């Protein structure tokens, strides 16, 4: 007899009809009797693992796959009912369990069923044929129940785990981390701008995209990892058995997460549509220190929203500072409604200068929030939150309205640039809002320049092109904002009808300190000239930068060297 309290009796395990059994029994005599019954019932067509106590049984279930588990009622200080409840609570819900007892009790029978056991056998009544019939019944019953459970715990579109099943897997992972002290990574994945796919191409295409993404996730995780669809365009993953060292676990999780982000971002053809969609991923690591599933889910969610706020298509790990960001987002969302209603939002205007004669020919309209208690709030503090709600469309309407009124009363200006968020641009009312303001104010469409970012047009270049072409036919112009910070800039310039290209301020800031920035800026201007576009340089702060731009024939510039953004009454003095 082995000191570990485990013994294996096995036949040829290569055969498919081998029954794999875990017997949890603390009495050796009862173990031997049960072994004889299995010999009589199954001959050599079974393998049996004997475990003496509940803790060892959980280790066995964690390490191996069994067809069925037989559990004795008396297990020292614990009962078999306790173990059966633990087995099902801990996520091992795919294995049927039979309770063995010396008591013939109807109440105990009911307790066994309520605990999750598929059958109840009295030892002194046990015969080989009764054992075989009970196991056959349990396996058949479990298969039928498994089909029902599959429907209850799997997403009907993708067939992967749903939120309810993932919650069970998360609880299991927490327990495993507590036992083994290994780190596990919880990932929240949100597809960037998925709504635009549904709105522009229909829900059928959107569903096919979700299925494709789920398959990519399944194909790029390890066997021990779990992927789930939380609903809509949200997925969750559990990456388990990472290192016990947090830094090494962080590196392992980051490597796998970046791989997932890149795989999701690869182009796909769905119903003849060439699509590419990014994703924002939030990650939190845990071992035996955190045992609350709700806390972990909140942390991963916070990290995901940080990735969204940082520009999307990114990975962010949870940090305690993110809780402050969540609080900020909360009050911003709560108070933006009042800000819009009480007209606390105001446009400021930054001059755009023609470099050749340093004359102000246009302005860029920039939103500010005059909060009654917090003072002047810059757009980077509230626009990211607004982007995740319908507030951004309301703000966009105000920007268009106020900008049109401003330019109608500023005949000395040739152009006014307005920033349009992706969500507003994709909104069905956007074109009507724009046309309505132009008709109301009598402003010529040629005076408006719509600034959009690479991330907006990358989602669906065909739909963006159609909308841009219809607006350009009216006379509106388009500027590609923050050029150089994305990853498909050249294809955008070639395929979409932009009039202006705005060089990202990071390149201008580094002209004096980084030779590469100067070379890139020069190359951008030459390329723009070849494509028939004019260049606007952002964030010009000194004469040396202006001289560089003038030397390389850059047409326009804006920045603190000329003026900061000013309210309407003060910008009039400059004009």
pLDDT digit string (tens) for 294-324?
Answer: 889 999 999 998 898 788 899 999 988 787 7
Other Cβ atoms within 10 Å of 511 Cβ, number: 21
> What whole-number percentage of the chain has pLDDT above 70?
93
The answer to whether the Cα torsion of 270, 271, 273, 279 is positive or negative is negative
Pick from 128-137, 212-221, 510-519: least confident: 510-519
Q: What Å distances lie between residue 476 and 367, 460, 499, 557, CA to CA?
A: 21, 21, 10, 20
φ and ψ at residue 76, rounded to 5 degrees = 70, -125
pLDDT digit string (tens) for 63-72?
Answer: 888 999 999 9
pLDDT given for residue 94 in this prediction: 66
Q: Cα–Cα distance between 67 and 524 in angstroms, integer?
A: 65
pLDDT interval class at 126 (50, 70, 90)? very high
pLDDT given for residue 484 in this prediction: 63
* 219: three-class secondary structure by DSSP: helix
pLDDT given for residue 492 in this prediction: 66
Q: Cα–Cα distance between 504 and 480 in angstroms, integer?
A: 10
> What whole-number percentage of the chain has pLDDT above 90?
57
Q: What Å distances lie between residue 268 and 160, 172, 375, CA to CA?
A: 20, 35, 47
Pick from 174-188, 192-206, 221-235, 446-460: least confident: 446-460
pLDDT given for residue 560 in this prediction: 95
Task: Give Rg (Cα) of the chain.
Answer: 32
Q: In this model, does residue 8 exceed pLDDT 80? A: no
* 460: three-class secondary structure by DSSP: coil
Paired residues of 275 in beta bridges: 268
pLDDT interval class at 216 (50, 70, 90)? very high
pLDDT digit string (tens) for 392-451?
Answer: 999 999 999 999 999 999 999 999 999 999 889 988 889 988 999 999 999 999 999 999
Q: Cα–Cα distance between 515 and 457 in angstroms, integer?
A: 30
* 453: three-class secondary structure by DSSP: strand
Packed helices 246-264 and 203-219: angle between N→C axes, nearest 10 degrees: 140
Q: What Å distances lie between residue 234 and 98, 139, 213, CA to CA?
A: 38, 35, 11
| String of DSSP letters for 127-164 | -HHHHHHHHHHHHHHHHHHHHHHHHHHB-TTT-SB-HH
pLDDT digit string (tens) for 492-519?
Answer: 677 788 999 999 888 898 888 778 888 8
| String of DSSP letters for 265-294 | TS-EEETTEEE---EEEEEEEESSS---HH
pLDDT given for residue 491 in this prediction: 61
Q: In this model, does residue 6 exceed pLDDT 60? A: no
pLDDT given for residue 459 in this prediction: 64
Q: Cα–Cα distance between 110 and 114 in angstroms, integer?
A: 6
Greater confidence (216 vs 112) lies with 216
pTM of the model: 0.54
pLDDT given for residue 445 in this prediction: 95
pLDDT interval class at 378 (50, 70, 90)? very high
* 338: three-class secondary structure by DSSP: helix
The token pair at 119 is 């059958």
pLDDT interval class at 11 (50, 70, 90)? very low
Rounded mean pLDDT, 193-208: 88
Name residues whose C-beta falls within 8 Å of residue 230's C-beta, 6 or more positions apart in sequence.
Answer: 162, 163, 166, 188, 236
Length of the chain: 575
Exposure on the CB side of residue 32, measured as CA atoms within 13 A: 4
pLDDT given for residue 490 in this prediction: 62
The token pair at 164 is 């309810």
| String of DSSP letters for 222-270 | -TT-EEEEEETTEEEEEE-S--SSHHHHHHHHHHHHHHHHHHHTS-EEE
Task: Give yes or no for a contact between 420 and 396, defined as CB atoms under 8 angstroms apart.
Answer: yes
Pick from 42-46, 217-221, 389-393, 437-441: least confident: 389-393
Greater confidence (446 vs 224) lies with 446
Spatial CA neighbour of 175 closest among 292, 21, 30: 292
Spatial CA neighbour of 10 closest among 34, 29, 35: 35
The 10 Å CB-count burial string (b at 16+, else e) for 280-315 is bbbbbbbbbebeebeebbbbbbbbbbbbbbebbbbb
pLDDT interval class at 458 (50, 70, 90)? low
pLDDT digit string (tens) for 48-86?
Answer: 999 999 999 999 988 888 999 999 998 988 899 999 988
Please, what is the average pLDDT of the chain? 88
Q: Cα–Cα distance between 383 and 391 in angstroms, integer?
A: 9
pLDDT given for residue 46 in this prediction: 95
Q: Cα–Cα distance between 87 and 172 in angstroms, integer?
A: 10
């Amino acid at each position: 007899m082995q000191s570990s309290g485990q013994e294996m009796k096995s036949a040829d395990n290569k055969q498919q009809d081998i029954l794999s059994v875990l017997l949890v029994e603390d009495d050796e005599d009862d173990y031997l009797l049960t072994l004889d019954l299995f010999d009589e019932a199954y001959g050599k067509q079974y393998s049996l693992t004997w475990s003496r106590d509940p803790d060892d049984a959980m280790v066995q279930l964690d390490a191996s796959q069994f067809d069925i588990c037989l559990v004795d009622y008396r297990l020292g200080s614990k009962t078999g009912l306790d173990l059966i409840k633990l087995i099902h609570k801990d996520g091992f819900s795919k294995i049927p369990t039979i309770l063995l007892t010396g008591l013939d009790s109807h109440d105990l029978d009911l307790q066994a069923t309520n605990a999750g056991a598929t059958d109840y056998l009295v030892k002194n009544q046990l015969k080989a044929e009764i054992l075989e019939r009970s196991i056959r019944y349990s396996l058949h019953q479990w298969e039928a129940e498994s089909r029902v459970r599959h429907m209850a715990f799997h997403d009907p579109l993708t067939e992967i785990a749903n939120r309810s099943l993932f919650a069970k897997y998360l609880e299991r992972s927490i327990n495993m981390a507590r036992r083994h002290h290994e780190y596990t990574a919880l990932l929240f994945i949100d597809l960037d701008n998925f709504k635009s796919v549904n709105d522009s191409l229909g829900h059928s295409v959107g569903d096919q995209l979700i299925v494709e993404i789920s398959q990519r996730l399944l194909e790029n995780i390890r066997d021990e990892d779990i992927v789930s669809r939380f609903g809509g365009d949200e997925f969750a993953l559990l990456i388990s058995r990472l290192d016990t060292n947090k830094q090494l676990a962080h590196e392992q999780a980051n490597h796998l997460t970046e791989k997932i982000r890149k795989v999701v971002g690869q182009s796909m053809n769905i119903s003849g549509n060439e699509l590419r969609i990014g994703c924002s991923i939030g990650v939190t690591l845990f071992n035996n220190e955190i045992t609350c599933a709700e806390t972990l889910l909140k942390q991963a969610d916070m990290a995901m929203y940080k990735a969204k706020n940082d520009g999307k298509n990114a990975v962010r790990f949870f940090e305690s500072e993110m809780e402050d960001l969540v609080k900020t987002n909360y009050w911003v969302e709560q108070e933006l409604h009042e800000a819009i209603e009480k007209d606390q939002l105001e446009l400021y205007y930054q001059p755009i200068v023609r470099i050749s004669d340093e004359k102000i020919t246009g302005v860029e309209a920039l939103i500010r929030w005059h909060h009654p208690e917090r003072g002047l709030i810059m757009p980077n503090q509230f626009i990211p939150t607004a982007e995740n709600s319908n507030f951004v469309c309301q703000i966009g309407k105000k920007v268009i309205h106020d900008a049109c009124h401003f330019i109608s009363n500023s005949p000395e200006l040739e152009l006014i640039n307005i920033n349009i968020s992706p969500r507003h641009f994709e909104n069905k009312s956007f074109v009507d809002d724009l046309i309505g303001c132009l008709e109301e104010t009598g402003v010529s469409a040629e005076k408006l320049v719509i600034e959009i970012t690479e991330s907006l047009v990358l989602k669906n270049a065909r739909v963006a092109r159609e909308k841009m072409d219809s607006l350009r036919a009216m006379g509106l112009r388009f500027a590609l904002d923050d050029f150089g910070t994305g990853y498909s800039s050249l294809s955008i310039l070639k395929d979409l009808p932009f009039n202006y290209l705005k060089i990202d301020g990071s390149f201008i800031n580094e002209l004096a300190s980084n030779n590469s920035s100067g070379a890139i800026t020069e190359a951008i201007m030459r390329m723009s000239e070849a494509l028939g576009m004019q260049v606007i340089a952002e964030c010009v702060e000194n004469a040396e930068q202006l001289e560089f731009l003038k030397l390389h024939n850059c047409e326009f510039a804006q920045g603190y060297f000329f003026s900061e953004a000013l309210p309407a009454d003060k910008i009039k003095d400059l004009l």
